[in-house]
Amino acid sequence: MDSKLLELLVCPVTKGPLIFSKNKDELISRSARLAYPVREGIPILIEAEARTLKDEEFER
């Protein structure tokens, strides 16, 4: 994921920053406890498409 693009993207729910998880190909919103998928290099920033982070994932 391009670092300049990542600086511009925010969580659609909280408007907070996103962290790119390279190994899972997801954008993580710690404030919303959601993980948004990145498919074919395109971030899918739709709340209905996001998965909820489990407690053990959130603590990392």
Residue 1 has a pLDDT of: 74
Instruction: Please give the domain boundaries of the chain with CATH numbers for all domains.
Output: 3-58 (2.20.25.10)
Across 19-24, average pLDDT: 90
Question: Is the per-residue pLDDT at 33 higher than 80?
Answer: yes
Contact 24, 35 (CB under 8 A): yes
β-sheet bridge partners, residue 39:
42
Tokens of 49: 């498409």
59: confidence class by pLDDT, cuts 50, 70, 90: low
- Using a cut of 0.95, tell me whether the model's pTM lies above it: no
Q: Mark residue 29 as left, alpha or beta (left: phi above 0; alpha: psi -120 to 50; beta: remaining).
A: beta
Q: What percent of the chain has pLDDT over 70?
A: 95
